[in-house]
Structures are given as structure tokens and as C-alpha cells.
Amino acid sequence: MHKNKLVVVGAGHVGSQVITSCNYLNLFSEITIIDKEETVARGEALDHRHALPAFYRGNTSITKGSYEDCADADIIVIAVAVDELLTEDGKMPPRSAWGKQNAKQIREVMAGITRYTNDAIVIIITNPVDSITYIAENEYHYPKGKIFGTGTALDTFRLRKIIADNYKLDSRLVSGFVIGEHGTTAFPLFSTVNIAGIPFSQADEILSVENRLSTDFLTKEVVQTANDVFVWKGWTNTAIAEVTASIVQSIALDEKMVYPVTATIDGLYGYNGEVAFSTPSVIGSKGLEQQIELPLTKDERKLLETSVSDITLAIQAYQ
């Protein structure tokens, strides 16, 4: 009988929270934790096992492991990263500030994984996630669709929550996508945004609201709110873990949900394998099953070109 197995590589703030969020799903018989600090992985596994007597938890086997454990993994989440510190003026540094060090780490991780499997579906969180995903996918020739990054799925969650709070509604009633780079050049596609079936452009007229949200404000706030969390808390981990768990569930249950994840773009938006960025994508049991090209206005096309330019420069810098 097949036993669903999840491997999480990297047991820092993000990896630890990913384990928690994915364990809540009760979808895995086994969760294996890999970290370069083996005692950290051992302690993380033990801590999570101590939570298992809770009646809402499954009897999951949670253990410290090594790359050999990837051989029979169904899903692998990569959450390795260097320590992220505030800049001297107390701000969140650009994600590219960690790029060269994280690119070195992702190469070490992918070398370990591909020694034992190219069948598992690999989800990358490590920042800057677009360029890191491009390196992992293309340098290690991992099968297309079986490797992708969380991309702007987190930015999309943030956008939906900001809009929902303004209209005092459940955020699950808001749909729409942020695309491009997971970074300062991410931008919402407002033509895709609706609230309980109401197009964003008509929401102020139809729904009772005190504050009208401008598209400029929302575009900036999606980026700024990430900075707020990082500055106030010292790191971000809870929301990205929930995003990752949502994607993991869509794979495990073959839900065919659509998330804006990042992977190499080949034949969409005029790009042919030279860059990775986020676009809405169908996620199911085979991984990233379809990337969707949405129509863009001239202004949105310019914003995408800016995103692509930043990502391309990062990819070149990390070679």
C-alpha cells in the first residue's frame, strides 16, 4: 500500500512552520526533515512528534533524515536559506541580497535530491524564488512540471486579504492574481480581481465601503506589507507556510487548484525558456500541470517586462 511521504529540506523558521501546516492536513504517513545541522533536524522532528497526541492529528511518522529519504518521496519542499537580517536602517533587504548564498545552497540541495530521485514533485520557497527556481529546474534538468516555486502565491494571498478587509468580507470571497517576480516588481492583474463575483472595478459602487482602494495603493501595499511583517517580527514564515500547505494539498488530492507559481516560461508571453516568473498555473497530482497566459494591457506588459528584467539579471548574477 502506498504511503504518502513529504520531505522538507531546511528546518529554519519557514521549514518548521511548513512542517506544522502540512501536518495539520493529515495527508502524509511520513514526514522527513533534512537540515545541514542534523541536531536541528532531530530536535525539530522530536518537537513535532510531541504534538501528535492531539486528537486532530494523524499518527504521522516524523523523523530526521538524509537525501536518501528523497528516493520514495512524493513531495519535497525546499526551504533552505541564509539568515535574513534587517538592513542598517531597519528595513527588509531586497530578496536578491541573499541570492548568491542561496543559489549555492540550492545547488547543494538539488545535487542531493537528484542523486536519488527525479520523480518527486519539488516545491521551492527559497528566495529570490524566481531565479532560484530557474537554476534548480534548468541546471539539474528536473522534469518540467515537477519543480516550481511558490512565487507570487503569497503576494496573491496578501492582495486578497487587503481587499477583503477593506470591504469587511471573508478573504475567501476574493479572487484574482499577482504575477511576475516575487519581489518589489510584483503586480496585481486587476482585471482578474473580483469580490463575491463582483468585478473589482464595480466593487465600490455595489458594496458599502468607507475607503476606496486605488490600484496604485494596492500594488504598493502588497509589497509594503511583506516589509512590515519582516521589520516587526524579524522574519516571515506563517503565511508562506499556509501557501505551501495549500499547494501541497492540491497536489496530494489532485484538486486542480490554480495558484500563481513560478517556473520556467516556455512559449507564453513571448518568452521561450530564458526566464522563470509567476503566472496562474493548474496544480494537481502531476505537479504544475498547466501554465496559463492571461491577456495583458500595455501597462501590464511594461510591468511584466520590468519584472523579467530584474529576474534575468539575477539569474545571470548567480551563474
Q: Which DSSP string do the residues of 138-185 spell out, in sequence order?
A: HHTTPPTTSEEE-TTHHHHHHHHHHHHHHHTS-GGGEEEEEEB-SSTT
Answer for the pair 200, 153: CB distance below 8 angstroms, yes or no. no
DSSP 83: P
Pairing state of beta strands 30-34 and 5-9? parallel
pTM of the predicted model, to two decimals?
Answer: 0.95
DSSP 150: -
| CA dist., res. 106 & res. 135, Å (int) | 8
Cis previous bond, 280, omega within 30: no
Answer for the pair 278, 222: CB distance below 8 angstroms, yes or no. no
Residue numbers of the chain with a pLDDT score lower than 70: 1, 82-97
* Fold of the 5-149 domain: Rossmann fold (3.40.50)
Helix (H) or strand (E) holding 200, with range, is helix 200-206
| CA dist., res. 280 & res. 256, Å (int) | 12
DSSP 152: T
| CA 309 to chain CA centroid, nearest Å | 21
pLDDT reported for residue 16: 98
Instruction: Give the active site residue among 48, 50, 141, 182.
Output: 182
Binding residues for NAD(+): 10-15, 35, 102, 125-127
Q: Please report, as a single letter, which amino acid is at residue 35.
A: D
Write out the three cell numbers for 263. Answer: 517556473
Q: Please report, as a single letter, which amino acid is at residue 280.
A: P
pLDDT reported for residue 91: 59
pLDDT reported for residue 280: 98
How many CB atoms are closer than 10 A to CB 208?
A: 7
Sign of CA dihedral 103, 108, 109, 114: positive
| CA dist., res. 17 & res. 51, Å (int) | 13
Beta bridge partners of 283: 257, 288
Is 182 among the catalytic positions? yes
What is the three-class DSSP state of 25?
coil
pLDDT reported for residue 99: 85
- Write down the domain spans for the chain: 5-149, 153-317
With residues binned 3-state (H G I as helix, E B as strand, rest as coil), the percentages for the chain, rounded to 5, are: 45, 25, 35
pLDDT reported for residue 277: 98
Binding residues: 10-15, 35, 102, 125-127
pLDDT reported for residue 210: 77
Write out the CATH class of domain 153-317. alpha beta
